[in-house]
A and B are shown apart, each in its own frame.
Chain A
Amino acid sequence: MTTPSPIIRSAHVPRPREETFELFTAEIGSWWPLPTHGIFEAEAGGVFFDDGRLVERSTDGRESVWAEIVSWVDGERIVLNWFPGRSADDASEVEFRFDDDDAGTRVTIEHRGWERFGPDAFARRRGYLGPNAWGSILDNFGDAAEPKVPAETLSRLINGYDAFFAEAEKGGFGPAPDGEFGAAEVIAHIGLNDAAMASVCQALIHGTEPRFDNHRCHDADALARWIDEAGSNEASDLSGLIAKGRAIARQVVGLVSRLNEQQLAADVHCEMEHDGAIVLDDARPWSAIVIDAQTGHHLPGHIGQLQDLRP
């Protein structure tokens, strides 16, 4: 009896190697099918390469570590100790490789020791185990739809985030007035709100029930978890928190770029809280929330809040 051979899968991507690597890693939460291939399922907020780990975050700030990075060579390869839903001493090994390929990049996934594959994590959702649930997906590579989100719309979102994080990076914040957000809470609030928006985008993409509420991004425990996990709870050092916020903001932009016209216009039930009162409990077209409200009111409002925190 021999040891099972590694599972090797590869695909062609029409982009230069460095860019492909960057998209694969920095936007992993934009493309990874989290509702079906994650720990937190409908509550998933994103997945990130962060601080030597691959970590999934929930919409209430919890973390689940999927893997530890064994080796990372920019633009070339990543080797992971792979243990979603299990402990680090109970892992198999996954390697992602990026090679120059005919006018683009060949992305190769090699999963070794697959007989130890973490079953608890991904066996949770039974629906996709059926014989016809998957199909020959590799055959459909060429069929990627044209992007429906205009570049101008995406730019508004990107610029909105840039302005917010630029304000946060300027620093110089004083203590918060009693009962109000300090700078760390404001940045964490934007991150948790992004996690909630990411989960709605994922639901729209994967055909599960989208629902948006912003309770968790006001929740003291969720905010504390988000700040604590970022490793920068001192008002004087917001860098970890800002990096964490930028990472999920980029994934939200990546997710929005994948939405088609129907998904952007889809009515999503929204339950919004402001100053402790429910201000919206109704369906809204998703673009009105994720783009218009985010860039028109939400981010500018919190930029103003950061400015007011300066002595």
Chain B
Amino acid sequence: MADGSRLNDVLDAIGDPTRRQVLEILRSGEQSVREITDQTSVSQPAVSQHLSVLRDVGLVTSRPDGRRNLYRIEPAPLDEIRVWVESFWDTALAAFVEHANKAAKETP
């Protein structure tokens, strides 16, 4: 698992609804800025900026294809979040089971 600061950067990056929308769009496969922009309600420069944030935290990568860049999603950082959310629920559940075990022992 990555260190906390990297994970927080990823969490911050997907905290923005437009960036999540961009990730949703990229789920269908590799696309250019123009193709992504056509599926959102924001401008192309705005999409480019969001893509740059997502690229900085490793959620998307790009490769040149002729005169344009093609962007695609990278699953690894999302897997790290998944591990984090899993451990969140593990802790909550363990705390409940401990509480319930004690309560069970107290009840005659």
Contacts and interface: CB of A to CB of B under 8 A. Distances in A.
Interface stretch (A137-145, A238-246, A287-295, A303-311): A137-145
Interface string B81-108: 1101111111111111111111111100
A297 interface: no
Contacts, number: 140
Nearest to A138: B90
Interface stretch (B8-16, B36-44, B47-55): B8-16
A32 interface: yes
Nearest to B23: A115
Interface centre among A31, A138, A146 (most CB of B within 10 A): A31
- Interface size classification for chain B: 35 or more
B98 A31 contact: yes
B29 interface: yes
Q: Main SS of chain B's interface residues?
A: helix
B88 A31 contact: no
B102 to A, nearest CB: 5
Interface in A256-290: 257-258
Interface of A: 1-4, 7, 9-15, 20, 23-24, 27, 30-33, 36-37, 90, 107, 109, 111, 114-117, 119-120, 122-123, 126, 129-131, 134, 137-138, 140-141, 144-147, 151, 154, 254, 257-258
16 contacts: A1-B27, A1-B29, A4-B82, A7-B82, A7-B86, A13-B100, A24-B96, A33-B92, A111-B85, A119-B12, A138-B93, A141-B97, A144-B97, A144-B98, A154-B106, A257-B103
